[in-house]
A and B are shown apart, each in its own frame.
Chain A
Amino acid sequence: MKFSVSDKSIDVAAAKKSVADHHCGALAVFEGWIRDHNEGQQVERLEYEVYRPVAVKEGSKIIDEALLRFDVSHAMCIHREGLLELGECAVIVCVSSAHRDAAFDACRYIIDQTKVRLPIWKKEHYLSGVSEWVNCEHCASAGHTHGDHPDE
């Protein structure tokens, strides 16, 4: 499965190995980790809600688009769901290609599209005891290039 959702810790080594190929001289990996702060709030943990039927279908489309758009050999992405603690890996993208430029570009494309197209939501739990859904509306309209999110 090129795109998958997991309720268990991501095995980073296994993810990287899944795109290994002797034809490829480059491996680009993006990992999104749970950060301890966001927009002035101290984050204690984070909860992902995923609507799997559409997320997996659309996520697989994104991988296929990357394989068509860039000169890469293999690409994959795993996104977590459920309650995650600080420092945990929430998402991983691995892309392998003959040369590095295409791998970097495809990796960026996959994580950017994942953030704006897939039915995935995160609720932040703050040290103050308050919890709230992270509204990523500004990401969708502005190309999500700001640095206010855990993996940026």
Chain B
Amino acid sequence: MKVRVRYFALFRDQAGCGAESIEWDGGTAAELFRMMTDLHPGLKTETAALVAINDEMRDWETPVNNDDEVLFFPPVAGG
């Protein structure tokens, strides 16, 4: 399946890009992130990172579907 991945703030710096489209076999958001860390060795797992799919906050075990846009948020720091 094909998905679009977007990175923000620290993750964008670590991945070296803000967005990319990739082909993969499918799985959860967590599995997709792990695959992206293999693709971008600078991208580091953060325990407080958050994920959204199609602009809705989701947990990391949510399955990713074909054509989804997956947003990887590094630990947030508003306020």
Verify if A90 is at the interface (C-beta below 8 Å from B).
Answer: yes
A149 CB to closest chain B CB (Å) equals: 7
Q: How far is the CA of A118 from the CA of B9 in the complex (A)?
A: 13
Q: From the candidates B13, B55, B75, name the one contacting A53 in the complex (CB within 8 A).
A: B55
Q: How far is the CA of A122 from the CA of B9 in the complex (A)?
A: 8
Interface hit among B25-33, B35-43, B44-52: B44-52
* Size class of the contact patch on chain A: 35 or more
The count of residues in chain B whose C-beta lies closer than 8 Å to any C-beta of chain A is 20
Q: A119-B50, A119-B73 are in contact. Are A49 and B9 (CB under 8 A)?
A: yes
Question: Could you list some 11 contacts between A and B, CB below 8 A?
Answer: A49-B8, A51-B73, A54-B55, A117-B50, A121-B78, A122-B78, A133-B10, A135-B75, A137-B75, A149-B79, A150-B79
Given contacts A91-B79, A121-B78, A135-B10, 15 further A-B contacts (CB under 8 A): A54-B71, A57-B55, A119-B76, A120-B77, A121-B9, A121-B77, A122-B78, A136-B48, A137-B47, A137-B75, A139-B48, A140-B75, A141-B47, A149-B77, A150-B79
> B residues bordering A, Cβ < 8 Å?
8-10, 13, 46-48, 50, 52, 55-57, 71, 73-79
